[in-house]
Structure 1
């Protein structure tokens, strides 16, 4: 009898596929997250491009979009949730895991207060696994009464939220911080529709902005304050942002 090279137990029961589980537990990989409505996704091509680009960088192999699309469509159909939150994870050996869950709520998000933290993600251009630092700071922010952590450099340069991108309104332009960050799909869809610019933004600059909002795969929400600085919720700005996002067409899986 041949002994399997890896033995893993969960609550005392041997894992059905220990080699696969060991790969999933490695913490080395990347993913993308999306909202699915009636079997459709906004920015599907951007998600597929992100997965292929990161797979090439991390594992030296391509990841055909049609493979991802077929697995994602199959998982959504098998789940019985044509409205859902879905994630595609990619691991060594280009093994893919698709997770389909209950959908995030549609519509505008509640205003959020952010707590700045001295932390920048490693390899920020990749939506990678192993985000302990982000989770640690986000949990700490929420325990302190905030909704989200705002990641900054030691000098106060603003990069991104723990799980969001952030944009500021100076009265004429939507300003996305130019510090290294993950360029999110929602941000990518909105940026060309909003008269956007990218430039450095620091905590010391907050008094010069009229408003701010955050974006991620779950939606868009205004920012009501950062640390002790209050920011007005600009209803006209938010209507324009929501309208721009609603104008983006849905892609069929």
Structure 2
């Protein structure tokens, strides 16, 4: 879970990237993106990805993004030879109009066993600016992640004043209080996997809610897990607070996510 596979293909507005067209994305961090795992030419939550791109673009650049256009560009970059992939759709506005850069990497697969994908998190005093946008320029997240990994942890857990937990560096985090799921209410990005689970968990008997969670509260929770486009992973430790891996809980949550329909791009 710590490596970044090489890029297999990059297109900008439906054309192979060149040194000239890469100049703006390489030198300007004003923009936003969404990341997805594609299997068999399908993705979970395509409507949420498209809504994320449209909302962020309206806020940053004052105009929407046509979802059918985005889907067409993704299909074009995948062609007929790539059916499984990690895909990112980056949006810049070099001349005032949205320009979409799509990168294709090999797919990311989590270990099958929950014990093998369990995460150790170290808290850091940082919150992403404009956290509701999946924006570019995540130096602080990357630097904090590098430092906590040197110390033997898997990911940084971002916290604000008073030790209030917001999110992981590249994940959302959820806590199990014995009866339901608690998502931190501090500023955070509502990830696609998080949104899909929030919609599906209550029907399985796991109500969800958003509430303040502080580092001092951590021992009061029975379990925790993180989510992102790769899937769902249990948390085994945050700082000095250890959690048992709740097999029944993780089987239910992972099963619910596995049951989310795949959408054709």
TM-score if structure 2 supplies the norm length?
0.87
User: Matches of 1:19 and 1:248 in 2, distance apart?
Assistant: 37
| Pair 1:28-2:30 in alignment | yes
2:50 maps to which residue? 48
User: Which entry has the higher C-alpha Rg, 1 or 2?
Assistant: 1
User: Which structure 1 segments of 5+ residues have no match?
Assistant: 1-14
- DSSP 3-state at the match of 1:18: coil
Q: Structure 1 stretch 105-114 or stretch 182-191: which is displaced more? A: 105-114
> Is the Cα–Cα contact under 8 Å of residues 33 and 88 in structure 1 kept in the other structure?
yes
Q: Structure 1 stretch 23-32 or stretch 96-105: which is displaced more? A: 23-32
1:218-249 deviation line (CA, Å, top 9, x unaligned): 11100000001101110000001011101110
CA drift at 1:132: 0.6
| Pair 1:86-2:90 in alignment | no
User: Matches of 1:132 and 1:71 in 2, distance apart?
Assistant: 28
| Pair 1:154-2:161 in alignment | yes
User: Matches of 2:24 and 2:134 in 1, distance apart?
Assistant: 21
1:136 maps to which residue? 143
> Is the Cα–Cα contact under 8 Å of residues 124 and 181 in structure 1 kept in the other structure?
yes
1:168 maps to which residue? 175
2:195 maps to which residue? 188
Q: CA RMSD in A?
A: 1.4
User: Matches of 1:72 and 1:160 in 2, distance apart?
Assistant: 28
2:75 maps to which residue? 73
Q: Structure 1 stretch 115-124 or stretch 185-194: which is displaced more? A: 185-194
| Pair 1:104-2:99 in alignment | no
Q: 1:94 to 1:184 in 2, by over 3 A?
A: same
CA drift at 1:73: 1.0
2:223 maps to which residue? 211
2:186 maps to which residue? 179
Q: Structure 1 stretch 90-99 or stretch 19-28: which is displaced more? A: 19-28
- DSSP 3-state at the match of 1:46: helix
2:4 maps to which residue? none
> Is the Cα–Cα contact under 8 Å of residues 108 and 219 in structure 1 kept in the other structure?
no
User: Matches of 2:181 and 2:113 in 1, distance apart?
Assistant: 18
2:244 maps to which residue? 232
- DSSP 3-state at the match of 1:155: helix
CA drift at 1:25: 2.1
- DSSP 3-state at the match of 1:180: coil
User: Which structure 2 segments of 5+ residues have no match?
Assistant: 1-16, 202-206
Aligned length: 238
